[in-house]
């Protein structure tokens, strides 16, 4: 076999190999993603939808530029292979100013296009900005604890653990903080992107759901041994059902008093969903102020890592 | 009294879990076997004089490869353990509060494994190989005989070894490593949430090896700027040297930052200060900023020399000078400069104001411009070339596709609102593996396949090399494409278990299969090296220039003498060696007196004390830390007063040595000619050979007995 044939043979083999791999991989991916319900691309709200569109848009633009470039590289690799007698070997090829200019200007233009998308979209999708659909947002205060999520409803004066119920088509402002817990990240992928929950800080994350259902949420940032189990459910209900649910929670007497909160602060994994009919109105502020300034009066012994209950 | 001498160390710290007992046993066994072999071969003196105390950058480079290679296997084992855990980690009970299936590892153990995996792969594998390549190749490329400070070089290497020991020490003492993620983000890494010794081991392994990196970087900058051959202006420097220079400039900029941050973190844990604590005015967000101001450039410190390797390889295997050399250099300069100003994109989600996020998003986009230019120079170099598909070129072609996907996913992540949805997801984890494996690791493999004959005197086996390459490509696609998909399905990183209803498990299983294929590829690479050793006569590099190379390192023999060049070459253009070769104008033999640095064990002693210093602080044995600090100072002062750190090899001695080398070369050449009829070994041939070797050994033993 001539070297030329041998090369052709090897390339055919490589292409066949890659074809089989990517064909199989593609089929596998399609089969197992048929009915996914979670993730940034299965959107159930306007914020998530815009973020998904942004992902598709940036992916599309970059692909449009990248694929031809990479294909060109492989094409040249193939065309100018040593065994190809038809290709002309030009070792002294000079690259003029025009070539160098193009080489720099072309990617700069592409990045300019992306930049003109990036700045406005970053401003428009500022998580601090309430979702505007004519309704005033309700506030839900979120406290990251080890390893569970506490939700306080200041307007309804109820609280829940590891489950948050919100009405459909109702803008929500989540006010994120944490207590005796390392940086955590509050994420409901179906509704929109994440923000960190940190002690002594309030991060505001505005989201809205447009479809009734149960959506899973998690802490996306590692914050200790029980972090993988720090999951919660976002239940989106109709406005009527939300009112009913609030009444139910308020009716079933189970106040979040000091003892109950002290228990929540203890590290535990996979805490059951709990609802509280009421809580001390200044609880959230107390939690934040705890990390501001004077430390006297803070019970540091409770921040011991060891002996967490399962 | 007991606490004074032993600190926190007591019998509970000794191995008692399966993995610490196993790890300790493996390390002790490996040490024992090594000791037995060296003792039986009576090679202790040789090992000490020729290798351990050597200040020859070529030998130090090889030692970096060996330790880095072992650590690659160690970090790879971590990866396999994680893949297995996640493939098994789906709990079958729906909803929160159900009895969760947790795979075969506890959460804490799993978290320690991914922390160690990240630290080992970045610090003790990638850094080691990059420093190894720079050590071996840069002096040859610039026509130098040594580094600016040979002592600093051996010191840097041994500090790196000290870090390697420290990161593995927990197997024997303490039983736990940091369970915090590879950057030990505060306040999780503070004393309150991580009271054990794991984070202390993390701090000291990075601290010790990090100081070594700073020293190494300073040394290489000085070497490249001050010790180039006559005539080699900056604009005639080979591209791997350029990449290394930019990389090292970044390293001296950011590694001191790491050192300072680690010290502050250590003070928080040891002295109870409040730099990064969440109480008493400490600011964990400052830690996040500081660690990423080092952490982001760190990836580019690894990447730039790899870019340089690719530039060399593309030019050589296309038989053309690099297209638009200036653009390539400016491109690398741009990448390294911009990489210093994008760190905040690692935490868009921490809640900075919109304009701050937008600024760092824009900076991230700008990094893509010089990177794209590098790709264009490679494309233009290949155009009109005469391309050979040897293994170095294969690794380059593999890098192109994989790195492109890494860049693509990176550009999506540069948009803060998109990042809000993808941050901390497996999409992000896949993204940086596309870049670090596809870019850095493939660059290292490319470089090793390219320069192997320079290191050893014989080329690497191409047949098994190609098989290893395809295993890596296949395994990589199987494990990291599903990872991208998992991120888009809402899977976050670092999960030791997850709900089966998420539908993630099929992809985790696929990732495990991919991991096994990568492991096979790694084994094939070892086989590739062994098979090449077996056929070293057949693969002998007779000319020192097996690929028809272009830069000065190909003008010396393979391997070069300890003084690299008998006479320092004079450089007249970017492609001096290539032009001299084509015009048959290579210089003939000539000899001159050569100043050679003497071996020194001071680096080993200092690193040993640095290790004990770290160990003392980990276990609160303050006396040991104090003694170690005094030890370091004493060794340094003693070394400083040593005025006989060099000796002169006279021209006559050089000539004699060259004659000896020429004789050896003649012998090798005959063996090479005798072996030329051999086919290059394949995998089956290799197994047959090993089987025969084993059978013969057994037969011999039997014969002896009867």
Closest partner residue to A194 (CB to CB) among B323, B349, B397 is B349
A-chain residue closest to B475, CA distance:
A21
B188, B195, B323 ranked by CB distance to A95: nearest: B323
Q: Which residues contact B388 (CB under 8 A, 6 or more apart)?
A: A81, A82, B317, B319
CA distance A87 to A107: 28
How many CB pairs (< 8 A) connect A and B?
305
Low-confidence ranges of chain B (pLDDT < 50): 93-99
Question: Cβ–Cβ of A25/B284 closer than 8 Å?
Answer: no
Q: What is the rounded end-to-end Cα distance, in angstroms, of chain A?
A: 69
Mutation site for A-interface testing, chosen from B177, B349, B388 by largest number of A Cβ within 10 Å = B349
At A3 the pLDDT is 57
Of chain A, the percentage scoring pLDDT greater than 70 comes to 92
Which of 86-105 (B) contact A at CB < 8 A? Answer: 96-98, 100
B358: which chain A residues are within 8 Å (Cβ-Cβ)?
118-119, 122-123
* Residue that the structure tokens 């990090």 belong to: B210
CB pair distance less than 8 Å for B323 and A224: no
Residue of B nearest to A299 (CA): B279
Contact in structure between B234 and B326 (CB atoms under 8 Å): no
Quote the minimal CA–CA distance from A15 to chain B in Å: 12
**CA of A138: how far to CAs of A130, A131, B73, in Å?**
10, 11, 53
From the list A122, A127, A196, which residue is nearest B358 (CB)? A122
Q: Is there a contact between B384 and A89 if contact means CB atoms under 8 Å apart?
A: yes
Picking from B375, B387, B416, the nearest residue to A80 by CB comes out as B387
The answer to whether the CB atoms of B388 and A82 lie below 8 A apart is yes
CA atoms of B469 and B527, how far apart (whole Å): 13
Confirm or reject contact between A235 and chain B (CB < 8 A): no
Per domain, the residue ranges of chain B are 43-600+643-675
Q: Read out DSSP for B362-409?
A: HHHHHHHHHHHHHHHHHHHHHTT--B---HHHHHHHHHHHHHHHHHHH
Rounded CA separation B255/B221 (Å): 14
Q: How far is A66 from chain B (nearest CA, A)?
A: 7
Residue A296 confidence (pLDDT) above 60: no
Which of A80, A129, A207, A234 is the mutation pick for testing B, counting most B CBs within 10 A?
Answer: A80
Provide the pLDDT for residue A17: 87
B361 to A118: CB separation less than 8 angstroms, yes or no: yes
DSSP string computed for A205-229: EEE---S-EEEEEEE-S--STTGGG
Q: Does any CB of chain A come closer than 8 Å to the CB of residue B349?
A: yes
DSSP of B399-449, one letter per residue?
HHHHHHHHHHHHHHHTSHHHHHHHTTBHHHHHHHHHHIIIIIIHHHHHHHH
Q: Which candidate from B107, B361, B366 shows the least CB-CB separation from A225?
A: B107
Q: Looking at the DSSP assignment, which residues form a beta bridge with residue A173?
A: A139, A206
Strand residues in B538-658 grouped as ranges (E): 594-597, 646-649
CA distance, residue B371 to nearest chain A CA (Å): 9
Residue appearing with tokens 């080993």: B604
Residues 254-273 of A with CB under 8 A from B: 270-273
pLDDT beyond 80 at A132? yes
Helix or strand or coil: residue A303? helix
Walk across the sheet containing A231-237 and list its strands: A163-167, A231-237, A213-219, A184-188, A192-197
A-chain residues within 8 Å CB-CB of B327? Answer: 100, 103-104
Instruction: Locate A193 and state its tokens.
Output: 């992107």
Give the angle subtended at the CA of A281 by the CAs of A275 and A286, to the nearest 5°. 105
Check B424 against A126: CB less than 8 A apart: no
Residue from the list A33, A128, A194 with its beta carbon closest to the beta carbon of B420 = A194
Q: Is A55's CB within 8 Å of B412's CB?
A: yes
The residues facing B492 across adjacent strands are B425
- Chain A nearest-CA distance from B706, in A, is 52
| Residue A152 phi, psi (nearest 5) | -110, 135
CB proximity A62 to B under 8 Å: yes
pTM of the entire structure? Answer: 0.94
The token duo for B535 is 């056929």
Check A40 against B422: CB less than 8 A apart.
Answer: yes
Q: Which of A19, A22, A8, A135 is nearest to A81 (CA)?
A: A8
What lies within 8 Å, CB to CB, of B311 at 6+ separation is B239, B240, B243, B322, B328, B374, B377, B378
Dihedral sign (CA A273, A278, A280, A281): positive
> Chain A contacts of B334, Cβ < 8 Å?
none
**Do residues B292 and B286 lie in contact, with contact meaning Cβ atoms separated by under 8 Å?**
no
Cα(B155)–Cα(B163) distance, integer angstroms: 12
Mutate which: B100, B179, B351, vs A, most A CBs within 10 A? B351
Please answer yes or no on whether A54 and B418 come within 8 Å at the CB atom.
Answer: yes
Of the residues A3, A34, A193, the best mutation for testing chain B's interface (the one with the most B CB atoms within 10 Å of its CB) is A193
Least CB-CB distance to A228: which of B347, B488, B497? B497
Q: Which two tokens stand for residue B644?
A: 């006989």
Given CB atoms, is B272 within the 8 Å cutoff of chain A?
A: no
Residue B184 three-state SS: coil
Specify the CATH architecture of the domain B43-600+643-675: Up-down Bundle (1.20)
Residue A72 CB coordination number (10 Å): 15
What are the chain B neighbours of A50 within 8 Å (beta carbons)? Answer: 417
- Chain B contact for A224, CB < 8 A? yes
pLDDT in tens, A161-200: 999 999 999 999 999 999 999 999 999 999 999 999 999 9
Q: Which helix (H) or strand (E) holds B217?
A: helix B198-226
The tens digit of pLDDT for each residue in A137-166 reads 999 999 999 999 999 999 999 999 999 999
Give the HSE-up count for residue B227: Cα atoms under 13 Å, Cβ half-sphere.
Answer: 21
Cα separation, A133 vs B501, in Å, equals 33
pLDDT in the model for residue B92: 61
Confidence of residue A244 (pLDDT cuts 50, 70, 90): very high
Tell me, what DSSP letter sits at residue B458? B
Residue-averaged pLDDT of chain A: 90
Main-chain phi, psi angles of B201, to 5 degrees: -60, -40
pLDDT band at A27 (very low <50, low <70, confident <90, very high): very high
Q: What is the pLDDT of residue A10?
A: 77
Cα→Cα distances B207→A47, A265, B117, B264, B314, Å:
43, 34, 17, 12, 37
The pLDDT of A60-88, averaged and rounded, is 93
pLDDT at A293: 65
Count each helix (H run) and each strand (E run) in chain A, helices first.
Answer: 6, 11
Interface contact B233, partner A, CB < 8 A = no
Among all residues of chain B, which has the CA nearest to that of A73? B379
Q: Which residues of B touch A190 (CB under 8 A)?
A: 490
Per CB-CB distance under 8 Å, the chain B contacts of A74 are 397, 400
Say if residue A300's pLDDT is above 80. Answer: no
Q: Name the pLDDT band for A35 (thresholds 50, 70, 90).
A: confident
Res A304 pLDDT > 80: no
> What distance in Å separates residue A72's CA from the closest CA in chain B?
8
**What is residue B207's predicted lDDT score, i.e. its pLDDT?**
97
> 3-state SS of chain B: helix, strand, coil percent to 5?
70, 0, 25
- Rounded to the nearest angstrom, the gap between the alpha carbon of residue A211 and the centroid of all alpha carbons in its chain is 19
Instruction: For chain A, positions 10-29, list CB contacts with chain B under 8 A.
Output: 10, 17, 21-22, 25, 28-29
Q: Note the pLDDT of residue B575.
A: 84
Cβ contacts of A199 on chain B, cutoff 8 Å:
187, 278-279
Residue A72's pLDDT band, with cuts at 50, 70 and 90, is very high
CA nearest B139: which of B618, B466, B499, B597?
B597
Rounded-to-integer distance, Cα B316 and Cα B551, Å: 9
Torsion angle, CA of B317/B323/B327/B332, rounded to 10 degrees?
0
Structure tokens at B456: 């050893």
For an interface test with A, give the residue of B361, B421, B548 to mutate (most A CBs within 10 A): B421
Q: What is the pLDDT of residue B60?
A: 97
Q: What are phi and psi of B647, to 5 degrees?
A: -140, 165
- What is the predicted pLDDT for the residue at A305? 41
Picking from A80, A82, A114, the nearest residue to B365 by CB comes out as: A114
């Amino acid at each position: 076999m001539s070297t030329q044939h041998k090369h052709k043979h090897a390339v055919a083999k490589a292409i066949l190999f890659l074809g089989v791999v990517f064909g199989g991989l593609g089929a596998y991916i399609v089969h197992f993603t048929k009915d996914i319900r979670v993730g940034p691309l299965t959107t159930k709200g306007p914020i998530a939808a815009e973020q998904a569109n942004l992902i598709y848009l940036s992916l599309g633009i970059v692909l449009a530029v990248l694929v031809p470039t990479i294909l060109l590289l492989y094409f040249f690799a193939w065309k100018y292979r040593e065994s190809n007698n038809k290709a002309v070997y030009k070792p002294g090829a000079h690259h003029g100013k025009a070539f160098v200019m193009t080489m720099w200007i072309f990617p700069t233009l592409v990045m300019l296009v992306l930049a003109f998308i990036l700045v406005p979209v970053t401003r428009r999708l500022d998580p601090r900005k309430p979702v505007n659909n004519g309704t005033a947002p309700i506030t839900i205060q979120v406290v990251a604890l080890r390893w569970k999520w506490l939700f306080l409803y200041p307007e309804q004066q109820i609280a829940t653990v590891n489950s948050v119920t919100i009405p459909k088509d109702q803008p929500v402002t989540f006010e994120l903080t944490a207590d005796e817990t390392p940086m955590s990240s509050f994420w409901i992928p179906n509704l929109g992107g994440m923000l960190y929950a940190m002690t002594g800080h309030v991060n505001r994350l505005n989201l809205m759901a447009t479809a009734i259902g149960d959506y899973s949420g998690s802490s996306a940032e590692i914050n200790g041994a029980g972090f993988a189990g720090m999951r919660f459910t976002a239940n989106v209900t109709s406005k009527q059902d939300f009112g009913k649910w609030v009444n139910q929670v308020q009716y079933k007497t189970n106040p979040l008093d000091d003892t109950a909160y002290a228990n929540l602060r203890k590290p535990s994994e996979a805490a059951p969903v709990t609802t509280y009919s009421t809580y001390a109105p200044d609880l959230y502020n107390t939690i934040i102020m705890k990390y501001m300034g004077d430390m006297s009066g803070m019970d540091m012994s409770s921040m011991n890592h060891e002996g967490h209950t399962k | 009294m007991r606490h004074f001498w032993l600190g926190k160390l007591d019998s509970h710290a000794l191995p008692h879990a399966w993995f610490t007992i196993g790890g300790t046993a493996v390390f002790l066994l490996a040490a024992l076997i090594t000791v037995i072999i060296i003792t039986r071969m009576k090679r202790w003196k040789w090992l000490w004089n020729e290798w351990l105390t050597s200040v020859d950058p070529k030998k130090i480079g090889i030692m970096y490869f060996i330790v880095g290679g072992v650590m690659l296997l160690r970090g790879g084992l971590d990866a396999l353990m994680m893949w297995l855990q996640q493939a098994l980690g789906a709990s079958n009970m729906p909803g929160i509060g159900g009895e969760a299936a947790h795979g075969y590892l506890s959460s804490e153990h799993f978290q320690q494994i991914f922390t160690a995996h990240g630290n080992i792969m970045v610090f003790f594998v990638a850094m080691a190989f990059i420093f190894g390549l720079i050590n071996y190749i840069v002096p040859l490329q610039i026509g130098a005989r040594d580094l600016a400070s040979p002592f600093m070089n051996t010191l840097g290497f041994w500090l790196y070894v000290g870090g390697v020991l420290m990161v593995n020490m927990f197997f024997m003492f303490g039983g736990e490593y940091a369970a915090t993620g590879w950057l030990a983000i505060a306040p999780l890494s503070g004393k309150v949430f991580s009271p054990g010794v794991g984070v202390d081991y993390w701090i000291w392994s990075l601290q010790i090896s990090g100081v070594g990196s700073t020293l190494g970087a300073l040394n290489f900058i000085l070497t490249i700027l001050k010790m180039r051959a006559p005539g080699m202006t900056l604009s005639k420097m080979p591209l791997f040297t350029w990449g290394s220079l930019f990389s090292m400039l970044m390293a001296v900029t950011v590694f001191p930052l790491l050192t300072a941050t680690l010290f502050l973190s250590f003070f928080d844990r040891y002295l109870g200060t409040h730099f990064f604590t969440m109480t008493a005015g400490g600011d964990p967000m400052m830690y996040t900023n500081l660690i990423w101001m080092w952490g982001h450039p760190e990836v580019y410190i690894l990447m730039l020399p790899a870019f340089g390797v690719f530039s060399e390889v593309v030019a050589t295997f296309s038989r053309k000078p690099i297209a638009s050399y200036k653009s390539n250099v400016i491109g690398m300069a741009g990448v390294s400069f911009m990489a210093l100003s994008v760190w905040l994109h690692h935490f868009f989600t921490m809640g900075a104001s919109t304009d701050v996020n937008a600024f760092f998003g824009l900076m991230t986009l700008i990094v893509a411009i010089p990177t794209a230019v590098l790709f264009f120079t490679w494309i233009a170099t290949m155009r009109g070339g005469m391309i050979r598909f040897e293994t170095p070129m294969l690794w380059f072609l593999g890098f192109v596709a994989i790195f492109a996907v890494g860049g693509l996913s990176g550009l999506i992540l540069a948009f803060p609102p998109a990042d809000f949805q993808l941050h901390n997801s497996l999409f992000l984890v896949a993204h940086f593996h596309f870049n670090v494996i596809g870019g850095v690791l493939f660059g290292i493999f490319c470089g090793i396949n390219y320069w192997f004959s320079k290191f050893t005197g014989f080329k690497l086996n191409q047949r098994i090399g190609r098989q290893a390459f395809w295993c890596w490509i296949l395994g990589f696609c199987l494990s990291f494409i599903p990872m991208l998909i998992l991120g888009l399905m809402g899977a976050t990183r670092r999960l030791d278990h997850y709900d089966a209803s998420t539908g993630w498990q099929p992809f985790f299983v696929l990732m495990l299969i991919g991991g096994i294929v990568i492991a096979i590829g790694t084994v094939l690479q070892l086989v590739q090296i062994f098979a090449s050793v077996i056929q070293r006569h057949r693969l002998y590099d007779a000319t020192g220039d097996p690929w028809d190379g272009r830069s000065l390192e190909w003008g010396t023999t393979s391997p070069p003498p300890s003084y690299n060049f008998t006479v320092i070459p004079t450089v007249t253009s970017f492609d001096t060696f290539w032009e001299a070769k084509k015009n048959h104008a290579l210089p003939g033999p000539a000899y001159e007196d050569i100043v050679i640095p003497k071996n020194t064990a001071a680096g080993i002693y200092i690193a040993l004390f640095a290790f004990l210093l770290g160990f003392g602080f980990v276990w609160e044995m303050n006396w040991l830390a104090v003694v170690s600090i005094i030890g370091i100072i004493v060794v340094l002062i003693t070394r400083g007063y040593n005025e006989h750190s060099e000796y002169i090899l006279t021209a006559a001695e050089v000539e004699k040595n060259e004659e000896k080398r020429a004789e050896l070369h003649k012998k090798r050449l005959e063996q090479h000619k005798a072996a030329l009829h051999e086919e290059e070994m394949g995998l089956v041939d290799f197994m047959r050979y090993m089987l025969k070797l084993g059978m013969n050994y057994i037969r011999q033993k039997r014969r002896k007995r009867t």
